[in-house]
Structure 1
Amino acid sequence: MTTAQVDHPAKRQQFRALPLRFALLFSLGAFAGAVSLSDPVWAQEGTPTDMMGGAQTPSVPPSLQDGLQQNDQAATGSATGSEDVASSRDIATLDTPDMRTPIVVELFTSQGCAACPPADKLLQGLAARDDVIALALHVDYWDYLGWKDPFGQPAFTSRQKGYARAVKERMIYTPQMIVNGQQRLLGADRMAIKSALDAATSKPSPVEISVAQDGANYRISLAAKTALGQDAMVQVVRYIPDASVDILRGENAGLTVNYANIVTQWHIVADWDGETPMSFDTQVEGDNPAVVIVQTSQPGRTVPLPGAIVGSARIK
């Protein structure tokens, strides 16, 4: 049993990594394949040339070319963007115009992904911006490589799969950033991310959100500036502001990685028709920050599939 130490401004937490109990039948360099989006995900990782700044290429297993049915099959791989990988300072000092509605940036990442540390660093810079809600969702499909990510949750893997299904994509990978539920980007491509943020800034939010506090209770009110024309889901997200983890095994063995805005809970708290003004109460207990995100949805096989994020606000 090994322990990864996680430092938090308010307190120190310990996350225990479970011992690896899966006997690999293939060498890690040769294993590849596409699996159903409804099944556990196994993946082939790419071969990053420079984990802390060089260019990498997405790894796409050859089986993806074997006539997979759209919306039913997926594969995973790892990737980062171009050589122009931003430092935290660079991304934090990009133009930050005054905005009433922050841009939501989701990073799908994993401590078991060798290509993820540059994207994790970039997200730290985004987290420092007032006009951005930056959220790190740690997936669990790299755990088989020898290190169980203590922040990883199957729910976040499912959310990434939902994004893929919504646009009939055939693969998911890490690190991936999604801006306002629409722009899908390689997670450390600074220029592409800047361009996506600039585009999101130019589009006014169609939803006004107000939050009123009464102790641990919060009243959230929604009003559409123009009718959305489709249903939306109202979500409350909780996260840990920052943590430092010593990674002891796997692809990132020996690294100490700093993380920002690590999501711990992501819940749908209300459904909305996207037109009628609505108010509801929700409880937000504990010290960790919380945000509310309004996102359009479309029917899925078992749960709604995520669409465009049309409103967001910090609750606490």
Structure 2
Amino acid sequence: MRNFWAAMGMAGWLAIGAASAESPVVVELFTSQGCSSCPPADHILSELARRDDVIALGLHVDYWDYIGWADSFAQPGFTKRQKSYAAAAGERMVYTPQFVVGGGERIVGAKPMEVMQAVMDLSEAPPRIEVELGREAGALLVSARRATGETAPILVQLVRYRPSSSVVIESGENAGHQLDYANVVTSWTLLGRWTGAEDLALSAPLDGDLPGAVILQEEGPGAILAAARLP
């Protein structure tokens, strides 16, 4: 797999222009250990995870489990999230691998140039929400304010993830391979809903030392308006 990516030169291309960002672009990858088409997309996510201007998240779905290998990272909630994206777009089917960039752009398959173009487009868009995070006595502090006059309801969500994991696949389509994963999502929690009419000031318990991010997203699920990594 590494030789393939080296030949294509994609890893280096994905790293071009990596820089810090006030509100990184959220890239979700719906994937599965049991899907033979997913490893190239998993590799793309690993490269994106190195960028400061991207929050790359691997969400493992469970609808491949029946084929012969139960994904050890899969959660029904992640399958539900992908189906909710499809329903919001008027689509009846879901596919793996699938990237969702910024909560809106959906890209099926391992297409690094399309993913990166979507990231660049969102990076250049003016901010719609300013968000800041802090910690105090075991609690996460979230403050935010709208940069526009919109008042649509916003979901304030906390995501935690494991930075890297390796799995030896013993059966199914990827049997006999050891697969490496980046930013494997372990939990996705709704902290609250915010109209944006007033500035947001929210406190929530924060346990453990896993990295994570706070994501502010239109209901639907819709566009992700802002995101910030845990301090």
**Normalised TM-score (structure 2):** 0.94
Alignment partners' CA distance in 2, 1:211 and 1:257: 33
* Matched ranges for 1:64-213 at <5 A: 87-91=10-14, 93-213=15-135
Higher-Rg structure is 1
Contact 2:31 2:61 in 1 (8 A): yes
Contact 2:30 2:82 in 1 (8 A): yes
Distance 1:88 1:287, change over 3 A: farther
Distance 1:285 1:232, change over 3 A: same
* Structure 2 equivalent of residue 295 of structure 1: 217
Write the letter of the residue equivalent to 1:182. G
Runs of 4+ in 1 over 3 A off after TM superposition: 84-90
Contact 2:165 2:181 in 1 (8 A): yes
Q: Are 1:313 and 2:231 counterparts?
A: no
**Tell me, what secondary structure is at the counterpart of 1:229?**
coil
**Tell me, what secondary structure is at the counterpart of 1:171?**
coil
* Structure 1 equivalent of residue 165 of structure 2: 243
Length, aligned pairs only: 229
**Normalised TM-score (structure 1):** 0.69
Residue number among 144, 160, 175 corresponding to 1:222 in the alignment: 144
Contact 2:132 2:144 in 1 (8 A): yes
Write the letter of the residue equivalent to 1:112. G
Write the letter of the residue equivalent to 1:314. R
* Matched ranges for 1:271-282 at <5 A: 271-282=193-204
Contact 2:32 2:64 in 1 (8 A): yes
**Tell me, what secondary structure is at the counterpart of 2:95?**
strand
Write the deviation string for residues 99-127 of structure 1: whole angstroms up to 9, x where unpaired: 21000000000001010000001100000
Relative to its length, the structure with more helix (as a share) is: 2
> Structure 2: which 5+ residue stretches go unaligned?
none
Distance 1:236 1:86, change over 3 A: farther
Contact 2:28 2:59 in 1 (8 A): yes
Write the deviation string for residues 131-176 of structure 1: whole angstroms up to 9, x where unpaired: 1000000000000110000000100000000001111112110000
Shift of 1:94: 2.3
When the two chains are superposed, the root-mean-square deviation of aligned CA atoms in Å is: 1.8
Alignment partners' CA distance in 1, 2:69 and 2:10: 26
Shift of 1:314: 0.7
Q: Which has the higher contact order (CA 8 A, sep 6+)?
A: 2
Contact 1:290 1:315 in 2 (8 A): yes
Alignment partners' CA distance in 2, 1:86 and 1:227: 43
Write the letter of the residue equivalent to 2:50. A
* Matched ranges for 1:248-267 at <5 A: 248-267=170-189
> Structure 1: which 5+ residue stretches go unaligned?
1-49, 55-83, 298-304
Contact 1:85 1:188 in 2 (8 A): no
Write the letter of the residue equivalent to 2:225. V
Contact 2:153 2:194 in 1 (8 A): yes
Write the letter of the residue equivalent to 1:294. L
Distance 1:86 1:284, change over 3 A: farther
Shift of 1:234: 0.3
Which segment is superposed worse, 257-266 or 204-213? 204-213
